[in-house]
Each structure stands twice: as structure tokens, then as C-alpha cells.
Amino acid sequence: MLESGTTQQPPQFSTLETSTPGSAFCKACRQAVTRSFYRYGNEILCGRCADRVKREVPQDSHASFVRAMLGGLVGFAIGLALYAGFVIATGISIGYIALAVGFIVGKAMMIGSGGVGGRRYQIAALLFTYAAVSMASIPITIHYMRNRAPHPVAQQQAPTQQDSVAGTSQSAPPAANAGSRPVRKMSFGKAVGVLALIGLASPFLELSSGFSGFIGLIILFVGLQFAWKMTAGRGNAKLDGPFQLATPA
């Protein structure tokens, strides 16, 4: 209970209260903070170190995010080509390449942003990494389908002499064929959309193969973690201040 005549003071979030003068120290230079201080995340900085942070630490901006997205697109293309190229060249499907794809995407985004990271960078890195690994199944599937399909006949064989004697009336198409409906071909845009959807769902479709599909999905998750951690940067840390240093009596 409070004694009569005393009042409880509300907490001051804009001041740093210390029991003894000069007991607060800058996290960077280890010098005592005497009058004002800054907060960089959970760290206390003096005015001189705060000015250095403003100059040296890259700050998040729209331009840095656009550059990171361009770097992510480059990493997506490299990762997709690496994953699909390895499977096509060796005939071996190894999910561990997803780890390399996550590293490539994260590194490319950090190069593009100049070291700036944050939550939106991490989400973009996840999308680029997942898209590169999953859609690599499209060129792999096309490669195997082309190799297994029979080669079309280049030229039509010339009619034999017996066929020519039989008469030219056979050249007319039968009445049944005349009434048949033409087969509709799928448009290019629709074909690309269907392939993209199948590619994005391919990591989960591989679960039908049993244990190997489950292991591949776990490795993909680890690759996503690589990209997530690499693009964290220091974008979440914000420099606030100046605040006044208060020393209670």
C-alpha cells in the first residue's frame, strides 16, 4: 500500500531511468550515455553511434525492395535452370538441390537490395524459392515426354502401282469422316496456365510416390528456411530517438 501523500508516477517510455548517473552505456562504443540516447531495436546507442548507423546501415525503401525483387527473379531463373538441368542431365532427382535454390534466391535478393531485409523480403524469397523448385518439373516433364514420344513420319509414302490401278475414287473421303467434328486445340495461353498450375502443385503431387515424395517435401521446406533467414537482414531493427536520459532522485 502507498503511504498517504504519495502519488504513483506513470512509467516514462521516452526516458531511460537509471539508479546512478552514467550507468547506461552505448552498445556500440561502450561509452556512458549522459544526456540523450537512441534505440536501435533493443540496443541503446549514443548520439555519435546513432549517426554512424544512419550513414552505414542501409535503410528499407521502395527502390531497395524493387531491386530485391529483380534479384529474386534472377535467382528464380538460375535455381529453376539448376534444378531442371541437373535432373535432365543425370536422370537423378535429388531434393537436396532445393537447398541450393533457397541459398541462390536469398543471396540474389540481398545483393539486389544492398543488404536490406525484412518481412516482405522474406515472403518474396519464399515465393521465389517454391516457384523455382516446383516449376522445374515442367521442363523435366516436357523432356521425358519428347524422348518417349514416337517420331513423326517426315514424308508420306508414294502410292503404289496397285493403288493407282484401283482408281482414284478412293481419294474421296468417306461420308463418315465428312461429318466428324474437328478436334479443338488448346490455346497457348491456356496450355501455359495449366502447366504452371501442375508445376506449382508438383511437390504435393509427388506425395503419391510414397516416402520419397514426403522426404522431398521436407527438403523443400528446409530450402525455404534458408531463403527466409538470409533475407531477414536488419530491416526489422528501427532507429528511434533521441530520448532523454532521466536519473531519479
pTM: 0.62
Give the pLDDT mean for 37-64: 79
* In the predicted structure, residue 123 carries a pLDDT above the cut 70: yes
Per residue in 229-245, pLDDT (tens digit) is: 999 876 456 677 778 77
Task: Tell me the average pLDDT of the chain.
Answer: 74
Q: What is the pLDDT of residue 183?
A: 56
Q: pLDDT tier at 114 (50, 70, 90 boundaries)?
A: confident
Conformational region of residue 182, where left means phi above 0, alpha means psi within -120 to 50, and beta covers everything else: beta
Torsion of CA 98, 104, 107, 109, to 10 degrees: -100
* In the predicted structure, residue 128 carries a pLDDT above the cut 90: yes
Cα–Cα distance, 80 to 63 (Å, whole number): 26
Q: pLDDT tier at 105 (50, 70, 90 boundaries)?
A: very high
* In the predicted structure, residue 166 carries a pLDDT above the cut 90: no
Cα–Cα distance, 208 to 205 (Å, whole number): 6
Cα–Cα distance, 112 to 66 (Å, whole number): 8
